[in-house]
Chain A
């Protein structure tokens, strides 16, 4: 080590100059922001629940079922997604569609998000473009495993996110997502 490093004091001073420089630069930015300069940023923090980092349009978030114009699901219950799913988290029960031109409709379409690995294979496998992962919703949680199972009605109600990944629908809350009784 050089003598200056062995003495320690010059290194201490250079360290203090560095951190003090950060302090005063950031403090100046904070003051400028408080005085109305919106572009001044004194911190790299994104204050999450209020501010969100913009998400990529390719982000795979919570699934939604695409609707037809009459509001019924576009899904024809072909079981492609259920078959391709590596986590086996999709459960479909098929039923007759009243319209003879459409072969089938799902009577149940459950996704167990506790199992889902968000690989997006279901979206790619779908021949009808009936399932997408573009809601931008990432915050789903539950006190029970059952609460992680999202049903057809919940998935049908969701809307796609905005261009920078902001969700437009509220986070769906399953009916049985409740605190278990102590």
Chain B
């Protein structure tokens, strides 16, 4: 009986993360259309309807999926058949699994059990997420190489070069966070952000690591390969690694981009925006810095935490979309220069500064 319950709980945790990221990813096609439209004084796609209900254009992702599933599945004659088929699946798979180590809530106590609200509890969660993010570039490179097209291989190589320069900056920029909270476990890092600075400011990563936050978000946007870092895609010059793809395989590459946006937003939230932390909310309820207290039932606290995580991720996605629809694309060499001569040295500087502060002032503990 307990084995079945354990299995059910494990399944439920995975299902929650999967549904969260898949729905977010699907919703992002709608968000992208609508947010860009509202930013540009337009209305945005609103014509798809079911029985006359348009619902703010929410059926457009559905219409897109139907369109892509019914399109011709084209394969170039000179393509590497196996890798060409495999590439979009690799891209989407690693985008999906990367979210597994990101905690979406504190421990849930239910019927005498302690359920960690996280698909997998890993002590090296940070490394796992970065490993999965790095592996997702294999799908892109595979697609570029297997297409048998010069433009596709150019896009694949650009993606690889961009990913290397972005990954280094990502890895170096979160070193400060890891040093400050003293753990590679994402859950521990989030718990550490529940502390208070000066007795009333939540010690979120963005406050203790402002430079690290800036560098991480910049490098993270580069890792999603979207504007302003869409040199691998460059729809106006080379069209990029998926130039030979059609139908749902093309859609999977587009979806992988959105999934990575969600992953980067989730990671930013976890590392810098306090994850599931609600300011001054503790396991037994609110404890405000001015002395007031508000006891809350355990289930409500957990719900608030999961809700806070969702809101923060959505907010981060909004910011990333805002950047995507505001800035023009970096030229290829500019993106490289920014990665190697801008983000990376600054990340190293951030590490040195954090180390100096930890040494002179002392850490959070």
Contacts and interface: CB of A to CB of B under 8 A. Distances in A.
Interface of A: 9, 12, 15-16, 18-20, 22-23, 26-27, 30, 42-45, 47
Given A15-B327, A45-B43, A47-B43, A26 B322 contact: no
B322 A23 contact: yes
A29 to B, nearest CB: 9
Given A43-B37, A45-B42, 19 more contacts: A15-B326, A15-B327, A16-B322, A16-B323, A18-B326, A19-B39, A20-B39, A20-B322, A23-B39, A23-B322, A26-B41, A30-B38, A42-B41, A43-B41, A43-B42, A44-B42, A45-B41, A45-B43, A47-B43
A26 B38 contact: yes
A42 B322 contact: no
Contacts of B42: 43-45
Contacts of A9: 214
A32 to B, nearest CB: 14
Contacts, number: 43
A12 B327 CA distance: 7
Interface in B294-325: 322-323, 325
5 contacts: A12-B327, A16-B322, A26-B38, A42-B41, A45-B42
B187 to A, nearest CB: 32
Given A43-B42, A43-B43, A23 B35 contact: yes
Q: What does DSSP make chain A's interface, helix, strand, loop or mixed?
A: helix
Interchain residue pairs A-B with the least CB separation, the first 10: A19-B326, A45-B43, A23-B39, A43-B43, A26-B38, A15-B326, A19-B39, A44-B41, A22-B39, A23-B38
A45 B45 CA distance: 12
Interface string B119-161: 0000000000000000000000000000000000000000000
A30 B57 CA distance: 14
A34 B323 CA distance: 27
Contacts of A18: 326
A20 B37 CA distance: 12
Contact of A43 (B38, B214, B323): B38
B40 interface: yes
Nearest to A11: B327
Nearest to A41: B41
Contacts of B325: 19
Contacts of A22: 38-41
A107 to B, nearest CB: 46
